[in-house]
Every structure is written in structure tokens, then in C-alpha cells.
Structure 1
């Protein structure tokens, strides 16, 4: 397979990286986890993704930051005791394969597939692919196709960490409706107005709005467009970051997770497929 001319392949500490450089943007993707680590549009040269300085980049455990792929369950919602199966599923800690790549007038197209999809906790026949377009926007599409003879239900998320200058000077717009508050025993609450982050935040918003924005005082804005989701998850560990081994104690000041997610269960019939898409738009 030939590799698109916009892509440089390297291997560091046992992980294969794809570095993309085209006229629209630069980006870095790790084949471990099928994990996007960086996206810098050339319109403003501002990094849009946050990567922990203590992220494990040796294939030993999932990478903290960027765009982790959660599949086929979200968090520990796998029907077993917590810790019995890996949090956020089986894809973010395995090596993916580069199936195809192409340069076009819209940017650089990459298609990745995981090494396997059947595992303890999910024993169905299916095909999963991650299609990435690095261009004026970063478009990420996760497709799950049922290649078996029985329907299955799954959850999934594009668990994106966005970089911000100062979380206390950051506002989210476009999010509405009620959310489930994990920090308050899953209480149902209304979305705040204005939407700012002032403490530990772990919320599953049940209204699948198609577009939200991250507003900052000093740097360009970022819009997030979502499709195929039933939820938006907003997460910031606040001072709890100090207890996360692969995160700086003050890293919470410079990141916000806004996750395009399916948390209420998507059913895929035999021969059908589900597509979850998130597009990161420099504004």
C-alpha cells in the first residue's frame, strides 16, 4: 500500500506515528489506540487538542489527551463489576492498522481499522473503522458495521480533550437541556447559563445538540459539530487532576473534554451500520 505524500511515518518507543503536513493543517496520529494527538490549523497555528505532558507514549496504557476512542462501552458501563473490564472499552489500548490514505483538494484522508473487535464483554461480529480528514477542519468518523446475524447494542464516544488557555476564562455555548451529574450521584440538572467550569465537572448531556463552541478571551474559538450521537459529555477533573497519575496537577486549567457520544445504547441490525462523527472547526 502506498502512503499519501502528506504523511510521514515514524516509530518511537514502539509506537508508530503518522505525522500529517498539508496546506491546511498539521496533525499527529498514534496507531496505538487509533489516537489523534494533535491538530494545528494553519489559519491561526493554534493547537486545538490537549495532550498531557505525562501521557504514556510507549504502548503500556491508553494515552491521556487528544482523541481517545471509546468502544463498545462508555466508562465502566459494561454490565460487569467496575475494573473487571477495561474502562471505555477495548479499542484505545490496541494497535490499529493504516488501511488507506489519500491526498485531495480537501486535505489528507486516513482510514484506520483496529486489530480486533471481539473480546470479553463484546462477542459480536462487526467491523469498525476510523476515517480521519485533516484539512481546514478535523473530521473524525467512527463507523461500526454489524457483519453478523444478530443485532447488538453498544455505546461509544470520541473522548476529545480540547486545549484552552485558562479554564476559568472559558465558556461553552450551544449546550442545552438536562444533564446527568456524575459528581452528584447522577442527579438530573439543567445546563448552566452561562456555561462555565468552576469545579470538578463530569456531565452527560442528554440533548444531542449538533454544534457547540468553546469561547476563550485571548485565543481563537473552536466549534465542535456532532452527528450520530445521543449525548454530549463534558469533563474536567479540576483539582482531582492531582490524583491522576498521567496528568499534571494543574493540567485541568488548560483542558476541557467535550465528547461526542452514544451513552444510551445504539442498536445495529445485521448488515446495518452506525456512524459517530465529530468535526473540529477553527472559528
Structure 2
């Protein structure tokens, strides 16, 4: 049974938060399971992590989750939309920040005919003190319906880098064309795979790249469907696929799964979020199938 089906089935043992949302436990983690007429989705309270999203018009999830993802306390979940904050990559320890490893609070859960809206928040506490000593407040709002919208807002007295590390479900990596990335990027691998067409990405080896001058709208076509990603106040987009060898080396990623996903991530890396204690700084994205 697929991991998505297992999570959806866990709803049966959960507590109802609204007509379409139940809170259950999956592995070691509290999870919000969403079954709405417009979509199915799930969110882990650890990391405020959108695990998957599948509009009712689609036969497979648009936001993808690995079959081997871990659901353990303080362990990152492979797939979905991990929230990398308040730093990206190896700019601090743990890698990609601590926000994805600690439990957030559910502030609100609302639904209507268009879908479900959630707000989750995290404030400095005993759990976060080990990683980061400055006071902060961060919110993640998630809308899931026929579209998926995620916005990260934060306050504090520091600069933060961040990524909404979105894993997109695709039919076959060999058929993928990503457009709208622009022509300037920072290569993060020792062997560069130069784009055949500037601003476009096709994948035939490992990819790990930060695009620094992207269009507001990016399209990801895989021969079966076109996913439209609209960036809101993002400064960069990271593209990532582990390819064959790295996929085999990762315990929380099945050997062949590199063929069915690609990461196209809205980020604030080269232009960090400049936080103040009183004013929210925010960025995010909207995803739809066109």
C-alpha cells in the first residue's frame, strides 16, 4: 500500500477538527489528514510539513512524498514541502535549519467549498533553544483545494535564509522540462550539466542548483501534465534531483524514486529575509495544474 494511502487511512482513528480534517498519528508524529471534495492532503505538525497534495482532478499527487519517508521525532521527512528556516543548507547546524525538526502549533483550521486553510506557528521555546537562542515568531499558512498555496511569515531581530523545499510528483524525469528559471544560477555540484536552452531545465544527471533571477511563473511539464508554480516574493529557486547513485545511497528514498520527482523550490537565499521584531517578512508560492 502506498504511503499516501496509509496516511489517508490513518484518518479513521483520528479526532475530527472539521468536516474534512482529522488529526491522527502516523509513525511517531501527529498528522492532519485532509479529505475534501477538491483534494486530499496531509500536514505533519512536526515541521508544519505539507506531506502531499492531490487535487481531485488528478490521479497522482502533485506534491510528492517518498515511500521510504521517516515519521520519527526530530527526523526530517523526505518529500512534501519541508520548511528550511532560519537558514538554508549548511549555513548552520542542523542542515536546512531546525524548523522542520520541531513541533509547530496549529492556530487555525477552516474550510469552505474551495478547500481547507490552515495556519501553524512556532515561537522560540525549550525545543528550539538547543539550536537557536534568539527570540522569533514564524507562521506557515497552507491552502489546499484545486490549488495549493503556502506562505511563510516571520518576525525576529536577525536575517534568515529559507526554502520551501517542494517535491513535485512527475510522470517521468526523462520527459521533464522546467521553464522560467532565468539564465543565472549557482551550481552546487562539481560536474556542471549546462542547460541546452537558457532558462530551461531538463534532467539527465544529478541536479542541485540555485537559480537567482527567475520569472514569477515557472512551469514544470512532464508529458502528462503541466504544473504551474507562481512565486510570491521569492528571490531564488532551487532545483534538485538526486539521480541514480545518490538515490541508492539515501535510506529514506527508494532507489527508483528519482524518476518520479523533481524539486523546484521557492527560496530566499541570496536575498535573505530581513526580520524585525514588529513587522512580518513573508514569501511563498502557489501551485496549480494547468
Fold shared by both chains (TM-score > 0.5) = yes
Q: Secondary structure at the match of 1:55?
A: coil
Matched, 1:54 2:60: no
How many pairs were matched up?
A: 271
Structure 1 residue ranges without an equivalent (≥5): 79-84
Cα pair 1:208 1:229 within 8 Å, conserved: no
Deviation at 1:186, TM superposition (A): 9.2
Cα pair 2:210 2:238 within 8 Å, conserved: yes
* Residues 38 and 187 (structure 1), Cα distance of their counterparts in 2 relative to 1, 3 Å cut: closer
Structure 2 CA distance for aligned equivalents of residues 93 and 156 of structure 1: 14
Structure 2 CA distance for aligned equivalents of residues 255 and 216 of structure 1: 10
Cα pair 1:94 1:115 within 8 Å, conserved: no
Q: How does 1:187-266 map to 2 (within 5 A)?
A: 192=198, 194-217=200-223, 219-239=224-244, 240-264=246-270, 265-266=272-273
- Which residue number corresponds to residue 286 of structure 2? 279
More helix by share: 2
Cα pair 2:217 2:230 within 8 Å, conserved: yes
Structure 2 residue ranges without an equivalent (≥5): 1-15
Deviation at 1:42, TM superposition (A): 1.2
Deviation at 1:23, TM superposition (A): 2.2
Normalised TM-score (structure 2): 0.86
Q: How does 1:82-97 map to 2 (within 5 A)?
A: 85-97=93-105
What is the aligned counterpart of 1:40 among 41, 54, 60?
A: 54
Q: How does 1:1-283 map to 2 (within 5 A)?
A: 3-78=17-92, 85-114=93-122, 116=124, 119=129, 122-146=132-156, 151-184=157-190, 192=198, 194-217=200-223, 219-239=224-244, 240-264=246-270, 265-283=272-290
Decide which moves more: 159-168 or 189-198: 189-198
- Give every structure 1 segment of 4 or more consecutive aligned residues whose post-TM-superposition deviation is greater than 6 Å: 185-191
Normalised TM-score (structure 1): 0.88
